[in-house]
């Protein structure tokens, strides 16, 4: 399988502080599913930020889609970012847009004709159980509902890479399993998934998922979930 993500001796330092991530090296094959785990403060969100290109490393090499992201001209980064779906820990929904229009955003940005947008958005709303909240704006939604809108927005255009930071942190166990199934079906269609989670119950729910474990900014040797 071709590799879609490669980190080589990546380090990240915020300002003049100590390194938050050190000597992080790994390769993800296209179409794989990875859980990212580690104690609070271990560097999970920081690693994901590097992966979805909102942060540049202080050292090392990051290759996505076979291209070097560190030396790539800044003007090309938005094009790469559009191939990556992101579920942010704090959702980052557009507050004045309805749930429906938040979910439709990636399709509009990609230039999909307006008449083709309603159907996939309706399907996604149903998938995340929010058909009856389609016209609600984020400030009037609960945390769990906002999280589901954020997930629907991240996956609607079937990104090549899906990066999700604690995507089940605000939902009940049944909804967490349902959302995980959504990620797994997207993964079966070819999307490479990296999902940070504190929820260890979910780890054996995705067959063949691998575990990436961070310990104080360093990656512990990966092993297959469930085998440990
Ligand atoms: N923008 C920032 N500026 C300075 N320090 C930061 C910044 N973001 C994160 N850090 C620091 O980097 C370290 C790792 O934080 P990070 O959020 O990546 O951990 P995490 O594993 O995602 O934690 P959690 O599970 O609590 O979300 C922490 O010590 C944090 O204080």
- 127 Cα–ligand 1 center, Å: 32
Residue 225 has pLDDT above 80, yes or no: no
From atom 12 of ligand 1, which residue's Cα is the shortest distance away?
20
- pLDDT, tens digit, 9 for 90 and up, residues 163-219: 999 998 888 888 888 889 889 988 998 999 999 999 888 898 898 899 999 999 999
Burial of 30 (0-12, 13-18, 19+ CB in 10 A): middle
Which domain range does residue 107 map to? 3-224
Task: Write down the ipTM of this complex.
Answer: 0.97
> In a mutational test of the pocket of ligand 1, which residue from 40, 43, 168, 212 has the highest number of ligand atoms less than 8 Å from its CB?
43
Question: How many structural domains compose the chain?
Answer: 1
Residue 227 has pLDDT above 80, yes or no: no
- 43 Cα–ligand 1 center, Å: 6
CATH of residue 7's domain is 3.40.50.300
Whether this model's pTM surpasses 0.95? no
> In a mutational test of the pocket of ligand 1, which residue from 13, 19, 39, 46 has the highest number of ligand atoms less than 8 Å from its CB?
46
CA distance 71 to 147: 34
């Amino acid at each position: 399988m071709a590799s879609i993500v490669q980190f080589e001796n990546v380090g990240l330092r915020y300002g003049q502080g100590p390194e938050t991530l050190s000597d992080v090296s790994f390769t993800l094959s296209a179409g794989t599913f990875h859980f990212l785990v580690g104690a609070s403060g271990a560097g999970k969100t920081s690693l994901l930020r590097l992966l979805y290109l909102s942060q540049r490393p202080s050292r090392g090499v990051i290759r996505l889609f076979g291209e070097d992201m560190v030396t790539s001209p800044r003007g090309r980064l938005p094009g790469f970012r559009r191939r990556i779906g992101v579920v942010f820990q704090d959702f980052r929904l557009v507050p004045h847009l309805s749930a429906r229009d938040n979910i439709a955003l990636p399709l509009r940005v990609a230039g999909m004709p307006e008449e083709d947008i309603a159907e996939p958005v309706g399907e996604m709303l149903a998938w995340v159980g929010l058909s009856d909240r389609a016209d609600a704006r984020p400030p009037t939604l609960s945390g769990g509902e906002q999280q589901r809108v954020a997930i629907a927005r991240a996956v609607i255009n079937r990104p090549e890479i899906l990066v999700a930071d604690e995507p089940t942190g605000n939902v009940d166990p049944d909804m967490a399993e349902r959302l995980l199934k959504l990620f797994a079906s997207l993964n079966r269609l070819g999307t490479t998934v990296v999902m940070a989670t504190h929820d260890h119950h979910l780890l054996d729910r995705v067959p063949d998922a691998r575990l990436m474990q961070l310990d104080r900014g360093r990656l512990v040797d990966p092993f297959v979930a469930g085998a440990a």
